[in-house]
Amino acid sequence: MTRIEKADLPQGVQHPLEPLTADEIKTAVAVLRDEKSLLKTVRFVSVVLQEPSKDYVHSFVRGGQLLREAFVVLFDNGKNQCFEAIVCLADKCIRSWKHVPGVQPTMTADEQIECEQAVLESAEFQAACRRHGVEDMSLVMVDIWTAGHYGAQEESNRRLARPLCFVRSDPTDNGYARPIEGLRPVVDLNEMKVLRVEDYGYVPLPPQAGNYRADRVKNLRKDIKPLEVTQPEGPSFEVNGHQVTWQKWDLIIGFNSREGLTLHNLSYQDGSRKRSILYRASLSEMVVPYGDPGPTQNKKNAFDTGEYGMGQCANSLELGCDCLGHIKYFDAVMTNSRGELQTIKNAICLHEEDYGILWKHTDRRHTQPEVRRSRRLVISSISTVENYEYGFFWYLYQDGTIQFEVKLTGILSLGALAPDSKTKYGTMMAPQLYAPNHQHFFNVRLDFDLDGAANSVYEFNVKGEPKSDTNSYGNAFYAQPTLFKTEREARRRLKLETGRHWKIVNDHIKNEVGDSVGYKFIPGDNCLPYAAATASWRKRAGFVNHHVWVTPYQADEKFAAGNYPNQHKGGDGLVKWTQKNRSVADTDVVFWYTMGHTHLPRTEDYPVMPAAYIGFLLKPAGFFTSNPANDLPPSPKAVKSGGSSCCQ
């Protein structure tokens, strides 16, 4: 059986970018309670590391004195007010405290639980359920959807939720198969009470079950043989606290309640040089807009990072299910909204996996082919946001390639239709049950320090050269580079016709042939938003307007839709920052990438959805002198049962 190592909470922090420990979080909470005499109406939305300045991190020497501070977001339900605090952990004092007017921070996990209970206990909601043929309230499911901002006054002066409701046929039934179509309660989260129940008319419950659990599926397959992944000598990676070294890679693994998994100080050992590539990489924001204009569905959209917190939705991963191989797990430590310590066991999985052939060549003049197998390091975390699961996977390869991949799975957010009805805004999954069309947009923030902080971004468009005296056969084509000088120039979209891609370079450092060292950004599958530019969610998610954005580094510019997208009117984040049109050439740049997945559901996505994939690649392009994986040793040959050997 594959082995598992358990990563205990670090006793002593090794690096200034490691996540806060349990003791540090306790200290931050205690200091705030003591110095601010916090009332019971105050919730701790998040307690995370206040990352120190880049100068401090770059000058840090292991074993030296650590600067450790906590950044805390609090919300007072009694006053409907948000506050931010920075707590110095060594001195146990508040370094800064400020009120942030007119915003709604991320909804906490506690609020979701309390909101569901408030809805179930509401007499108005119970009466509405009876009108819709639901009698047993113990079987009702309430998914907490944020309210957004559609111009109503209450969206500016109340903390709201607009849940969706479903009903099970028994306690272990898949309730999503039976939406209570037409009912949407509106809840004041400050008072934790139902303000009203919006009733858009009776639609019968879909008649069929849609179960997927192993104990409810008949005739499970019996023809699957065991597949074991073993590393008898242990893994090739080493872990010290949250610092990981593998092959020639070195990085810090981070985690926080909003972004979830983050990577820091990513570097590659190139001969005698340790070369920096990325200072910080993270999921900045994501939004899931739905495309059904019906009254129950038309306000469905979710900013899963800024409104729900991808980190606080993280799963406890299981060996053999979520990860295979020799695993190193990391726990995620945070608080609930009452400031009590909360630990998500095994929130991050670290392991190696075989990835087929890395390179191979057979010279017909020699009898022995040369082949090297690819191995990659996998750093992953999976979060559940009500019905959907999102797996976030960072892959590091032996040839210097970096890959990010999101795996989308879980259960579709479903709606009900009257018997014999269909809709052009979705796909029928079962009788009277349909899945609305929707999209998923992810924005990833890549803070480059490519061989130093002074970097530039070039766009490349491939052009065919007209037939001429120097191109007599008309076969010539070339890649035309364009340097981004300002932020507005760098607002860009993909263009298939020209093979558009981007390259992040350091023009101060040249490779052996005199070109600037760099990394090529290679997009994967993508799309554009289909909602009108005036749609409420698009005003708040301006980052979807372009696939690429480039900004000069600012420590407080971390989230593509702004710090507080929940119930925001819009226009914050990248849209606002890039209006300044700051210089982005030969400076400390941040590259932001928006990738979208258009989901036109299939019947095969029901009752639970096979994973869909979306992501991108960062490949060295002139960064190394030659193939950095040329020094890999030959792959050992495996002996087949017949006695012959195989090198594939």
How many of the other CB atoms lie within 10 Å of CB of 109?
18
**Is residue 223 annotated as part of the catalytic site, yes or no?**
no
Could you give the count of Cα atoms lying within 13 Å of 407 in the half-sphere of its Cβ? 14
Q: Which of 279, 290, 308, 388 is catalytic?
A: 388
**All residues at 6 or more sequence positions from 52 whose CB lies less than 8 Å from its CB, including other chains:** 16, 17, 67, 69
Q: In 3D, which of 323, 280, 297, 100 has the Cα closest to residue 179?
A: 297
**What residue type is 397 in one-letter code?**
Y
> Which are the contacts of 86, defined by CB distance < 8 A and separation ≥ 6?
50, 69, 70, 71, 72, 94, 95, 96
Alpha carbon separation from 565 to 46, 278, 363, 440, 536 (Å, rounded): 15, 26, 58, 16, 12
Strand (E) positions, 50-207?
69-76, 81-88, 93-100, 140-143, 160-161, 164-167, 183-188, 193-199
Largest CA distance in the chain: 84
Pairing of strands 81-88, 388-397: unpaired
Three-state secondary structure call for residue 550: strand
How does 587-624 read in b/e, with b if 16+ C-beta sit within 10 Å? ebbbbbbbbbbbbebeeebbbbbeeeebbbbbbbbbbb
Count the residues in the chain: 648
Active site residue 388: yes
Is residue 428 a contact partner of residue 604, using CB atoms and an 8 Å limit? no
Residue 634 main-chain phi, psi, to 5 deg:
-60, 145
Rounded (10°) CA dihedral 529, 531, 534, 540? -60
Bond before 607 cis per omega within 30 degrees? yes
Question: What is the C-alpha separation between 505 and 637, in angstroms, rounded?
Answer: 40
CB 281, CB 251: distance < 8 Å: no
Please identify which of the residues 143, 173, 304, 605 carries the catalytic annotation: 304
Angstrom distances, CA of residue 350 to CA of 285, 379, 608, 619: 23, 5, 26, 21
| Adjacent-strand bridge partners of 302 | 288
DSSP 543: G
DSSP 3-state helix, strand, coil percentages of the chain (rounded to 5)?
15, 40, 45
Q: Evaluate whether 292 touches 309 at the Cβ level (below 8 Å).
A: no
DSSP string, 228-243: ----TT--SEEEETTE
- Identity (one letter) of the amino acid at 34? D
Residues belonging to the active site: 304, 388
